Structures are given as structure tokens and as C-alpha cells.
Amino acid sequence: MTALIRIIRAGPMATIQDAGRFGALHHGISASGPMDRGAFERAGGPLANAGAEGIEFTQAGLAFTVAEGHFRARGEGGEFSLSVNGSPRDWPADLGLGAGDTIDITPGPSGNYGYLRFDHAIDVPAVIGSRATNLVAGLGGLDGRALRRGDELTLVPVESDVVVGEMIATHLPADDGPIRFTWGLHADLFAPAARQAFLGANFVVSTRLDRMGVRLDDPSGVFAGAPILSLVSDAIVPGDIQILGDGTPIVLMRDHQPTGGYPRIATVISADLDRFAQMRPGTALAFAPVGLHKARALFLASR
């Protein structure tokens, strides 16, 4: 049976996501998908007949009413406060919801991104094979944009023979320690002293962060006065740490542009990118290098 939810409150970056729009880089489109993939997968994994889509929301939270129908929902990612009809519920959340229920999610002590998955699919059209919202390109999700007050989403049952694959991330990422990276595409263009300083420095997550990238404050000035290089535009992957012309480091995230011409000193490893995405503005962090073998082993262990 279908269900209908009506959005009461959503932040400017609350979006519909699925695993991602893979295979479209050669059309100039990056994959998008959840900022915290592990949390997205943990939300859907335990649900029977989980829909491939979910709602990603931010510190601005999310509130909605169930206008019609009933369904199960699971919430994961960061720490959020959730209530149903005014009664507090646990987070992560496992909910049976029906017509008339009002769900209100507000920020908790940590994390930037939370997820709601349903035992229903969200009925929006697939665009180039995916329902993930790409806010930069204005594609997918609900009309290529963030959710807002008054939006109605139809939830449709998932056919029981639909296999929702690879939705079984069970390992929570480590809570602390440096963010690990492999040296980047242009690491050799940075002076040895700058590379060394990068390893020892503390950076701070700035308030300028979105699904495209997270700018870091660089209080010790590791990249201040770095020479401005003219590079041929080349492929970008999520986690790339690029240094802008004014010396600002920016970690590129899920809605990154497919190519870019700023130098990239490093790439955050796949196993640590979710943890990085959840770091709030003001969080101090350091970076530590690992080799490719170690990065791969950590990724496989995180699955």
C-alpha cells in the first residue's frame, strides 16, 4: 500500500539520495549519493524490502507528517533527537509510522548528516539511472532540488522480489584519530616542506561546507603563500583535498565537479570519508598518510 508524507520543515540541504548515480562521469556528472554512506546503508540494512532511496538531512533537522498509509522507517547517522507526536524516541531510530503521525528530528550532540530509510521506495523519477539528488547539477531527487516545507513524497511498496544489494555495512567508523589519506594526484608539486607541514598541522572544519566540499581553516598557514599553479583540468574523486589559489584547503565531497584544475595534495581514504563528513564546523583534525594497500584493507574491513 502506498503512503504519503508531507514535509513540515527541512534544511536547505535536505535531499533524497540513493547509493549514487554511477557511470555518468563522462557526461559531466558526479555520482552524488549519501555524504555518510555507511550510515545510509546501516539505516536500510535491517529493513525488510528497504527502498533504495532515503532522505538525507542536516543540522537543520527534518519534520514531516504522515498523510496517508503506514510504513516502517529507520534513522541512522550522527546523533539526532527524534520525536513522534511529541514523544522522544531513540536514535538510531526504528519506527512504525501511520497516518496522522508527526515526526520531528532536531540536532543532537554530534554529526552533520542523518538518514531516514523506509520499507518503501520514494516515488520520484530515476534520472540517468538514479534518484540521488545532485544539488550542483540540479538533477534527481525531487526536481533536482532540496526538500522544503509543503513537499509531498509518495512512498510505494518495494516489490518483494527486488533485491536491494550491498546494503550491509555493519562496522561503525572509528570515533577519533587522524583522517587518513593517500598522497594525491599533485602531491609532487608541493614543496617537501609543505608536505611535511601538512602532516604535522591541525586543521579546523570551517562553516563553509556543503555536499560539494568542506573548506578547512588552516590556522598554522601550511598552504599560505603556496604558489598558484596552472594545471590542466583533471579527474576529481570524492575525498580529494585541493588547495585553492588563496591557500584554502577544501575536501571535495559527493557533489564534486567531475574535473578541476586546482592542485590536490592528498585524497581521504574511502574508509574515513564518512567520519570526516560528520565532523561539525569547529572540529579540529589532523591528517595521516597510509599506503594504498592499507587504504584498501581498511575499506574492505569497513564493508
Pick between residue 13 and residue 241 the one whose CB is nearest to other proteins. 241
Residue 287 is which amino acid? F
Rounded least distance, CB 258 to other proteins, Å: 5
Pick between residue 18 and residue 104 the one whose CB is nearest to other proteins. 18
Pick between residue 215 and residue 256 the one whose CB is nearest to other proteins. 256
Rounded least distance, CB 299 to other proteins, Å: 5
Contact call for residues 130 and 140 (beta carbons, < 8 A): yes
Rounded least distance, CB 70 to other proteins, Å: 33
Name residues whose C-beta falls within 8 Å of residue 217's C-beta, 6 or more positions apart in sequence: 203, 204, 205, 206
In whole angstroms, give the CA distance from residue 117 to residue 192.
Answer: 46
Which of these, 196, 198, 241, 200, lies nearest to 223 by C-alpha position?
198
Pick between residue 91 and residue 299 the one whose CB is nearest to other proteins. 299
Pick between residue 110 and residue 259 the one whose CB is nearest to other proteins. 259
Contact call for residues 109 and 278 (beta carbons, < 8 A): no
Rounded least distance, CB 228 to other proteins, Å: 13
Burial class, 221, CB count within 10 angstroms (exposed 0-12 / middle 13-18 / buried 19+): exposed
Q: Which three cell numbers stand for residue 33?
A: 549519493
Rounded least distance, CB 62 to other proteins, Å: 26
Pick between residue 119 and residue 240 the one whose CB is nearest to other proteins. 240
Which of these, 159, 157, 127, 164, lies nearest to 142 by C-alpha position?
127
Q: Which three cell numbers stand for residue 294?
A: 592499507
Rounded least distance, CB 7 to other proteins, Å: 24
Crossing angle of the two packed helices 37-44 and 270-277, in degrees rounded to 10: 90
Which chain residues interact with other proteins by CB under 8 A? Answer: 22-29, 127-128, 137-139, 182, 184-185, 232-235, 237-240, 257-260, 267-270, 292-293, 295-296, 299-300, 303
